[in-house]
Amino acid sequence: MLDDRDRKILMLLQRDGSLPVSTLAEAVALSVSACSRRIQRLEEEGYIERRIAVLNRPKMGLPTTVFALIKTAHHADDWIERFKGVIGDIPEIVEAHRLTGTYDYILKLVLPSVEHYDVIYKQIVRRIALFDVSASISMERMKEGIELPTNYAR
């Protein structure tokens, strides 16, 4: 069971995973060793999956975001596994979701340019049959993040 200190530690680490334990300890009114033990417990219990660096997309040459909406006539487990393999091999696809409704999947791609979408599109359709693909170009990132609200954690 998490308490308010655990939730605050999680919130702070999401914002900056490189914060020193001493800074975290001070922020949650704990000793450094007690705070360190809590962080270790949060990792062991799976609340913290990993610590990563968030890269600057424009500096990495990837300023463009495209969302590809996919319809397929195939829904068997073996096709889904092949599809996962295809999209898993393409690093520009940074998110993929199976959907309810009109489309079956949505892919989020980060690209150097809009024109590069065609390169990725061809990589996908050469390897797996799709019924329909529709792409939308993001004009502006209005909100983006990987921080999760911590108040729902138990």
Could you count the other beta carbons within 10 Å of the beta carbon of residue 11?
15
- Give the residue numbers spanning the domain of 80: 64-137
pLDDT at 154 over 90: no
What average pLDDT does the segment 5-29 reach? 97
* 75 lies in the same domain as 129: yes
Percent of the chain residues past pLDDT 70, beyond the cut: 100
Other beta carbons within 10 Å of 125: 12
Answer whether residue 146 shows pLDDT above 90: no
CATH assignment of the domain containing 120: 3.30.70.920
Q: Can you tell me whether residue 140 is helix, strand or coil?
A: coil
Domain-embedded: residue 22: yes
* Tens-digit pLDDT profile for residues 86-138: 999 999 999 999 999 999 999 999 999 999 999 999 999 999 999 999 999 99
pTM: 0.89
- Which strands form 93-98's sheet, in the order they lie side by side? 93-98, 105-111, 64-71, 132-137
Residue-averaged pLDDT of the chain: 96
Distance spanning both ends of the chain, measured CA to CA: 5
